[in-house]
Amino acid sequence: MKKQKPLILVTNDDGITAPGIVALVEIMKTLGDVVVVAPDKPQSGMGHAITINSTLRLHKTKTHGIKEEYSCSGTPVDCVKFAVNKILKRKPDLCVSGINHGSNMSINVIYSGTMSAAVEGAIESIPSVGFSLCDYSHDADFSAAKKIIKTIVENVLKNGLPKDVCLNVNIPKLKYDKIKGIKICRQARANWVEELDERHDPSGKPYYWLTGRFENYDKGKKDTDVWAIENNYVSVVPTQFDLTAHNAIKEIENRWKL
C-alpha cells in the first residue's frame, strides 16, 4: 500500500492573497496535500480572537491553484476552527501559518494572528508552526525563507513536536548564505512602549493610531529569540497554550495563607 501523503493545513494573518502565504503554499505543495483556509483580509494583531458576536462567511478561492482553498471572513483562529471542524475530512498532519510579513519575536507572539493560528493548531493536537520573515515589505524576498522553512517542516514531519507545543519561527532578512543557522530559544522579555498618535478628523474630533517603540529587557541574552535574529540566526521558540504560571501556585498559597 502506498504511504499516504501528509495532509497540510495552511493559514496566515495577512490574508489569503499575501505574497507570504503564496510562498508558503509553494513549499508545502512539495511536501504533501495542501488545504488553505485563510482570512479574506489582513488580520494582523488579532491575537487569539475568535468571532462569537457576529457571523462568519466562507468562500472557495482560486488564489493558489489547488483543489481545496477557502477564504474566511474571520480571524486566523477562526480559520483553523473552520478547517478542523468543517472542511478537513481528517486531522491534518501539520498546520503552518505565515509566512508573516514582519517579525513575531518576543512579546509579539501574544498579539500575532499568525502565531495564534499555530497555537490553535496545538490546542487541536496538530503539530503546528508559525513562520515570520523579519521584513515588513510587501515585496520581501522569500527565497532564503523558503529553504529554511522546508528544512524545519521536514524535521517536524519526521520527528514530531513535544506534546501541546507549537513553534514560533522567525527568519532574519538575509540572503541564505548569510544565515548562520537555526537556534532553539526562549522569547525575550520585552514590551512595547506605546505612543497613541493623536490626529484630528475633518470635523476636528480626535482619533488615535496605536504605535510604539519596542523595548527589549533581555538585551544581550544569548538564549533569546531577539539575540538570535540580531546575530543572523533563525530563531525557533517552542510555544505553549497553557498559560498557568505553575511555579506561582505554591508561592501564592503561601502568601495568602488560605
Among 7, 36, 37, 185, binds its own copies (CB under 8 A): 185
Q: Is 213 in the site for its own copies (CB under 8 A)?
A: no
Contacts to its own copies from residues 50-89, by CB under 8 A: 50-53, 55-58, 74-75, 77-78, 81-82, 84-86
Secondary structure element (H or E) that encloses residue 236, with its range: strand 233-240
Report how far residue 255's alpha carbon sits from residue 248's, in angstroms, rounded to the nearest whole number: 10
Start-to-end CA distance of the chain, whole Å, equals 61
The dihedral region occupied by 242, where left means phi > 0, alpha psi between -120 and 50, and beta the remainder, is beta
Contacts to its own copies from residues 137-176, by CB under 8 A: 155, 159-162, 164-165, 167-168
Among 2, 65, 67, 181, binds its own copies (CB under 8 A): 181
Contacts to its own copies from residues 104-123, by CB under 8 A: 107, 109-111, 116, 119, 123
Among 29, 147, 150, 186, binds its own copies (CB under 8 A): 186
Beta strand pairing call for 190-200 and 206-216: antiparallel
Report how far residue 115's alpha carbon sits from residue 107's, in angstroms, rounded to the nearest whole number: 11
Cell numbers given for 248: 506561582
DSSP for 198-233 reads EEE-TTS-EEEEEEEEEEETTTT-TTBHHHHHHTTE
Query: Site for its own copies (CB under 8 A): how many residues?
Result: 82
Report how far residue 150's alpha carbon sits from residue 142's, in angstroms, rounded to the nearest whole number: 12
Q: Kindly indicate which of the ranges 28-36, 129-137, 142-150, 249-257 contains the residues binding its own copies, using the contact rule CB under 8 A.
A: 249-257
Among 29, 147, 189, 221, binds its own copies (CB under 8 A): 189
Q: Is 200 in the site for its own copies (CB under 8 A)?
A: no
**What x-and-dash track marks residues 23-52 binding its own copies by CB under 8 A?**
-------------------x-xxxxxxxxx
Cα 189–191–137 angle (5° rounding)?
A: 105
Minimum CB–partner distance for residue 8 and its own copies (Å): 19
Q: Which is nearer to its own copies, 27 or 185 (CB)?
A: 185
Minimum CB–partner distance for residue 77 and its own copies (Å): 7
